[in-house]
Chain A
Amino acid sequence: MKHGTRREKRLRNRIIATAVLALLIILATTFAGILAPNDPYATSASSIRMAPGAQYPFGTDNLGRCVFSRVLYGGRTTIAATFLLVFISFLIGTVIGMLCGYYGGILDTVLMRLADIMLAFPQMVVAIAVAGILNAGMTGAMVALGITMWVSFARLARSHTFSIKNEAYIQAAFFAGKSDFYIIMVHIFPNLLAPVLTNALTQIGTTMIGLSGLSFLGLGVVPPKAEWGSMISEGRAYIQIAPWAVLFPALATIITIIIFNYLGDAVMDYMEV
C-alpha cells in the first residue's frame, strides 16, 4: 500500500513536470507574436545564412529570415494542426467505437472491417498517397493522416463499450427506462473517457511526426508559411553551410515529441496504478 502510494506520487510528479514543459511549449508558440524578435516572413538579402547571434538567436536561413521566429511560428502551425487532428480523430473514432460496441451487429461488422482494412496499410504510406492526391496543403495532410487515425480510438472505445454495457449499472439504467442515447452519453462515455484520452495524449507525438513528415516531403504546408517539417526540408539544401537552419526546427520537433510522448506514457502508467 505504502509502495503503491509512493509510486503514485512519483508518477503524479512526472505528469506535472512534463505537463508544465508541454504547457510552456504551447504558450511559447501561442504567443509567438509577442516572443518572436523578428518578422518570421521578412527576407533580408544582407543577412542570409547568418550564424546564431544576438539579433538572430537561431541564425537566419537562405532568405535571411529569422530561424528563431520561424521556429516559434512554425510550432504554432504544427501544434495547432496536431491538436485539431487528434481531437477530430478522437471524436469520430470514439463515437464510431461506442456505436459499434453498443449496438454490435451489422454496423459493428461493417465499420470494424473498414478499420481492419485501414490498419492493413502503413499509416504514412496511405497519408502520402492521399495527401498527394488531395494536394491541399496542411488541410490535405490532416485529412490524409485522419483517414487512418480514428481507427485506434474506435477500437479502444469499442472494446471498453463492450465491457461497460454488460455491467449491472447499465441493466439498472434500462430498468429506469433510460434511452440508448442517455446510456451512451451518461454511463458509457464518461467511463471510457480516461483510457481514450490517454490514447489521445500518446497519439500527439505520432501525429506531429506524421504532419512534419508530410510537410518535409512538400505535402503539408505551402511555403513561405513556417512549419517545422517544411523548415527542415528547406534548410536541407544548404545544411553544410548553415546547419542551424535544420538543427533548430529539428530539435524543436524532437523535444516536443519526446515531451508529449513522455506525458502520454506517464498518464497511461498513472491510470494503471
Chain B
Amino acid sequence: MVLLEGKNLNKCFNDKQGYTNALKDVSFSLNKGEVLGVVGESGSGKSTLLRVVSGMIPPTGGSLLYKGEEYTGKRPRKTGEFLQVIFQNAKSSFDPRMTMEKAILENGRGKKDRAEILELLKLVGLEERQLSKRAGELSGGQCQRMSIARAFYSEAEILLCDEITSALDVSTQARVVELLQKLKSDGKLSAIFISHDIALVSMICDKIMVMKGGRCVEQGTTAEVIGSPKDEYTKLLIDSARRQSV
C-alpha cells in the first residue's frame, strides 16, 4: 500500500544571487512498513525535499499525496496528523524548559495515555525516570530516542528522519540505528531517512534515492543501488563509503 508519494516536485528559492532550483522534478513513493533512504552530498537537495514533503515549505511545482489524497501546500499543523519529523539536533527539538513527559504529551493531540508513553519508552530503550528530565539533562542519543518515542506517540504513520545520527558519536549512532532496525523488523516503521552516509542508509533502508544538485540521479531497491549502481555519482558515493570503512 502506497502511503506517501511525491510527483515531479520542484522547489525554487529566490535569493540575492537570483533563482536557485533546489529540487528538480523529484518523484518518489513510500509504501507502508518501508524505509526510503535519501542520500547525497551537502546542497544536493535532501533537506529541501524533507522540508517540502513535511509541509514546512510549499513546493514550487509538483504534488504530494498521502494515501492517494493530495496534501500539497498543507502546513505542518495538518501534515503532523500523518507524518512527524525527527530533527538532526534532537536536543533543540525539545523546549529546554519542558520535561520529556510534557513534550511527549504535547504531541498527542489531546491524548493523555501514560501507559502508552511508558510502553514507547521501553520500545526505544529508555526508562520512566527520564520522563521528568529536561533536554539539557539527557544525552544526545537519549534525546534522539526520546524524539522517536514522541513521534510514535502522535500516531503519525510516517517518520521523516533528517540526518538523525550525524550529530551523535559512533556508539550512540549504532544504538539509534539498532533501534530503527528493530522498529522496522517489527513492521512499525514507515520512514524517509535522510543522510549523507550511504553505508548507514543501506543498513536501514529498503529503497534508496540518490540526489545531486536537486535531482534524483538514481533510485531503486537497496540491493539494486548498492549492488549495481548505474550513475557515476552513486558509484563515487559507494566507493568513498567503502574507502572510509577500510
Contacts and interface: CB of A to CB of B under 8 A. Distances in A.
Contacts of B4: none
A172 interface: yes
B7 interface: no
B165 interface: no
A169 B94 contact: yes
B10 interface: no
A172 B87 contact: yes
B97 A175 contact: no
A175 B109 CA distance: 10
A187 B77 CA distance: 16
Interface residues of A, number: 15
Interface in A173-200: 173-178, 186-187, 190-191
A83 to B, nearest CB: 26
B168 to A, nearest CB: 15
B117 to A, nearest CB: 14
Interface stretch (B78-86, B169-177, B182-190, B207-215): B78-86
B95 A169 contact: yes
B64 to A, nearest CB: 16
A167 interface: yes
B79 A175 contact: yes
A172 B94 CA distance: 8
A109 interface: no
B242 interface: no
A168 interface: yes
Main secondary structure of the interface of A (DSSP, over half): helix
Given A174-B76, A176-B80, A177-B77, A167 B107 contact: no
> Interface extent on B, as a size class?
20 to 34
Contact of A177 (B87, B94, B109, B147): B109
Interface in B38-97: 54, 56, 75-81, 83-85, 87, 89, 92-97
A171 B56 contact: yes
A176 B96 contact: no
Given A173-B106, A176-B154, A167 B92 contact: yes
A4 B160 CA distance: 40
Contacts of B154: 175-176
Interface string B115-132: 000000000000000000
Contacts of B96: 169, 191
Nearest to A170: B95
Contacts of A167: 92
Contacts of B94: 169, 172
Contacts of A169: 92-96, 98, 103
A185 to B, nearest CB: 12
A174 B80 CA distance: 8
Contacts of A172: 85, 87, 93-94, 103, 107, 147, 150
Q: Which of A168, A173, A175 has the most CB of B within 10 A?
A: A175
B75 A178 contact: no
Interface in A71-126: none
A186 B105 CA distance: 13
B97 A190 contact: yes
Interface string B149-161: 0100010000000
Nearest to A167: B92
Nearest to B78: A177
B95 A191 contact: yes
B93 A191 contact: no
A177 B105 CA distance: 12
Nearest to A193: B97
Given A171-B56, A171-B76, A176 B97 contact: no
B109 A168 contact: no
Nearest to B135: A169
B89 A168 contact: yes
Nearest to B150: A172
A176 B83 CA distance: 10
22 contacts: A169-B92, A169-B93, A169-B95, A169-B96, A171-B56, A171-B76, A171-B85, A172-B94, A172-B103, A173-B95, A173-B106, A174-B76, A174-B80, A175-B54, A175-B83, A175-B107, A175-B154, A176-B106, A176-B154, A177-B77, A177-B78, A177-B81
For the complex of A and B, list the 3 residue pairs with the smallest distance between their C-beta atoms, beginning with the closest: A175-B80, A174-B76, A168-B93
Given A168-B87, A176-B106, 11 more contacts: A172-B87, A173-B95, A174-B75, A174-B76, A174-B80, A175-B54, A175-B76, A175-B85, A177-B77, A186-B95, A187-B95
